[in-house]
Each structure stands twice: as structure tokens, then as C-alpha cells.
Chain A
Amino acid sequence: MTIAKILVPVDGSPCDEVALIGAIRTATPFCAHVSAVYAHLDPGKIAPPAVPLSAEAMTAILEGNAKVYRDSARQIREMIARISLSEDVVAEEDRSSDRVTISFLEALGYPPELLGAMASLSDLLVSAACTQPAHRFDIAAAALLKGKCPVLITPKPLKEFRKIVIGWNNSVAAAHSLSAALPFLEKASTIELVCLVHDREPQVEIGRALSYLRTKGLEFSSIHMRQILGSTQHALGDFAVERHADLLVVGGFGHSRTAETLFGGVTNDLLFHPPLPVLLVH
């Protein structure tokens, strides 16, 4: 896929800056457009209270909600203006082919549902690792599963993705992650493959991954087969850090979501505690 549009959910928290700067720096090699979206519930529609309230009290609550959202939206706009200056990006209307552009949109509704739908018409969703975990999980899951959109989780402002590690287990999700990562792989100087196997598991087949990359003239500079004891949860992230990688690419929700929730899967771990930028693809 070509990276032309990057979606960034924002919510007025301090993590927005990490996500936006991460998105802009990811967009730069592709001269892509960054779409910042503040998705929140409609302040005019709240669930009826358990205790009946007077009309004045209801009005006060509704106005209070609306004010919170208005203030957040204003703060987000100010932050975007500030970041646009420091990162040298331009507004969407000034779009030409050689600059990153940015836009801001406020959308009313249930955020994971809205963002999942928007992700289906986006090439990448960027989220900061410090955002509220439950929200991040729901939005990332919606983008991955409903929007079929890769998700980049970034723990801190990014640097260039020179060295990329790919976590490989020959699954459908891993295969999708390899093809989705191609735009990044083509610009990287080093690509490494790592397969984690538990004791007594068969070796993971890697031939198809090698062939696929060769169609684009790419090669793995090294391939690592690591045996692990215990859970895979932290092993991938730890390995990528050990290799001084700038980006880890993995198939997200390769196992069923139920399995992941019950058994504390690899996807959960990388979503909640990424030690480096992680690209998740379903």
C-alpha cells in the first residue's frame, strides 16, 4: 500500500502531541496527509440518569459536557498550530506533492466505531503508547479488525525507521504485516526477521517471506530463530530492543481476540507496553 493518509485519534490529553509528532515524522518520507480526529460522544445525548434530575440540573450537566469538549477541541487546534510550525507542515488546503499536510476534524459518536470506519479509508492509524489503555485497545482493535488498517503505536517521538525487525510466525496476520510494511521496508537500511518458537514446536517456515521480499528486491540482513521458555509476551519487544531496532512489525490479533484477552496475548502486551514503535497489522 502507499502511505497517503495517516489517521491520528486525539482526545485532548498530553499524549496527543506524541501521537501527532509521530504521525508527522512517519508521513514525511511519503509526503502524506495527517488527519487528526477528535472523536467523542455527542454532549447533547447522554444516558438518562438513574436518579431523576431537575431540568436545570440536566441543562447544567449537558452544558458542562459541551464545554469540556469545546475546551479540548480548542486546545487540540492550538497544539496542531504549534506543532505545524515546529515540524514544518502545512494545512490541508495548501496541499502539494512535496509537503506533509495536516487537518483537524471533530466527529460525534462512539469513538472506536467512528475511528474504525475512518480507518477503513486511511492507510495507517498512529496512536501514542501513553494514551489511556482501554481506549487505545478499543480503537486499535476497531482499526485493525474493522478498518483493515495497520496501527502504529509509538512510545515517544519517532526517529527514522532505519532498522526494522519483523516478528514472524508464518500466520495469516504475519503475512499481512509483511506486505503492509513494504513502504517502510523499502526505505529501511536493515531488515531483520525473528521467529520465536517454544520448546518442542516445529521450526517456522520462512521461505515464503524471503521470496515475497525478493519480488521487491529486498533481503533480510539477518534471520533469527529464538527458542523461548514461558510466554511470548515480552520476548518480541525485548528482542527488538536488543537489536536496536527503530520499528517492530508484527501481525496483530493473529490469535482470536478471545484467546488474546483470556491468555494475555502478544498483541495486548505490545499495545499496552511497547518498548519501541510497533506496527500492528491484522
Chain B
Amino acid sequence: MDTIAPQNPTANADRLDGFVQGFVRNAWYVCAQAREIEHAPLGRRILNTPVLLYRTNAGKVVALHDVCPHRYMPMSKGRLVGDNIRCTYHGSLFDEHGKCVEIPSQDSIPPKCFLKSYPVVERKNWVWIWLGDPAKADPSLIPSENYLGFGHEDYSTVDHKYRLVKGRYGLCNENLIDDTHISFLHLGQFESGNRVHTMPEVSQEGPWIKSRWFDPHEKISPFFHMLFDVDYEIAPRALVGHFHPPATHVVWIEMYNPKAPSERPRVLRVALAFTPETETTTHWFWAESRNFHQKDAAWDAFATDTSWAIQDQDFYAIEAIEALLQSGSALPEEVSFKADAGIMRARRVMNQIIREEQGQ
């Protein structure tokens, strides 16, 4: 597992008061792409908790604490015996529920010899895990796959990918909520650069923090001419972002026909899930779908290439900021702009959830 240990996670603590600190535990997080989990042990750290993932012979996903209680060997280093997992160090064998069923060197099994089991739900491309109070693990809290763009009859999935980002999940969340960076970090690719001058509408509905940026007269970039297969010079265009705290985003671009604006727009929909690995590293899950040129391999490849190239620029910014936060360098007081309304609202909501969970 490519884990990056924080150099100095408490550096500049007094300058990070505005940042989201800590994790929400009572929430569903994406722990893996469905295709990553096979009938073989996979170790992944989630919210700083080592988790073992594997599939039974029947295909069911199992999530257990990835620590043998005997001598703390990671169970993911072990091997599957049928649907059970055997520790590679001293051979203790645990079933898919975490119950110890064999200790080779003795007949009795101590009552504390078990692996904690976590609720998991597999939904299309993603597998979700709940590390908090299992009694609260209600699968209906997971955003529907149609909403994420998986399996919706009007959409076909382009692709889905994963990367471990060397940056805290708060930076990842804020990157997605923040529209104005698009005119600079992604200069010339998304749009004509005027987004920075028009503010998005920000609202909140239930757990969702929503923003919608709309320009009725957007100058369409060559990239969007190709990506959306349109030849409009000027067209109405929207960028919509929905954030489901603590870690799920759905973002979509609507491209309208300027000659028939009431027609259904061409939509490219991106679902992202940012699962904290540690305080300073994040599992970044991406999936994309669209409602035009469905199941067209050429557009799938183009969308994957370009979406991942854009995200590479986001990784660059997030990892540069994280490195600075951990460097111990003195930082100035953080300044926010009017355009940061969505970010500030997200921080307030997140900090409130964390405070409530911690009983403060």
C-alpha cells in the first residue's frame, strides 16, 4: 500500500483553524472500486483504520479490521482459505464475519481473538464502507447510483478510476466546490476564462450543498467543441456541483443548443468520492458518464484522457498545498473571497457534523 506518512501533521495548527479537522465516522465512504476487490486480500487504510477487503467465493464483499489481534500482523498479508483468511505470521484463521475459527498452536480460542467486521455495500462501480456505529449504517444514506450517473438509462458510464492523493480530504472537497480555480489552474481548457467574473448560486437542500454556475452566452472552447461534438461559438452552459458531506460529489456540465435552448442539454456527469486514508492523504475515486454518444469507445477514451489530465492539475495543486502545510513554514492568516461562499458553507456543515458526532 502506497501510504505517505505525514511529516508534521500538526505544523501550522493555529493557521488551520478554518480547515475541516477530523473525520466524520458515521458515514458511508467509498473504500474501493468494485473491480479492485477480488477473491484475494486487499489492504486499504480508511480514516486511519487498516481495513482488509476481499470477496467470498460467492462474490460477497467482506470488510474486516486488517490487524491480527495476536501479534498485530496485517491480515491483508495473509491468504484466503475458502472464504476464511489465514494470518501469514502464526496461522490464525478467521471467517468472513471476523470470528476466529482456528489457532494452529492451541485448541481453545480466547474470546478477544476476533477481527472487527464493518458494514459494506456494493453499488455498481463502487463499494461503500461504514466505520462508525454499525447500528446507524443505513444503506439508504448512500447517494443513489442513478444520481451518481451509474446505471441511469439516459447515461452511459465512461470509465472509473482511483488514485491515492497526498493531500487531506478537506483540500480535495474544497477543490471540487471551488469554481473560480477553473479559470486559472485549468486555463483555456474548460472555458473562456469568464467564470471567475460570475458567481455561482449556492444553496442547501437536506445534506446536499449545491452550486450552479450558468452563463447564457459562454464562448465555447475548442476542447468543448470536440468533447460535446458541437459547433456553437456561443452557447448557454451550466456547471452544477452537488456536495454530499462528508466526501461525495456529483458535478455535471450542461451544454445547451443556442438555437433550441429548451432541448435537453448534452450532459457530462462526474461522480467523485474522497475517502480519507489518513489525516493528510486521500483515496480519490472518479467516475464519469454522459447522455450523448453513449457507449462510444472513441468518446470514452477522449473523456477519460482529458478528465484525468484535468484532475492531474488538481492533484498538483492539492499536493503542493499539503506539502506546504506540513513543511512547518510560517503561514499568513488565511483569506477568503466572496466566491468562496460554497467552500465556507461546506466547512461550517462539516465542522458541525464532526462536533455533533464528538458530542460537543
The answer to whether A binds B is no
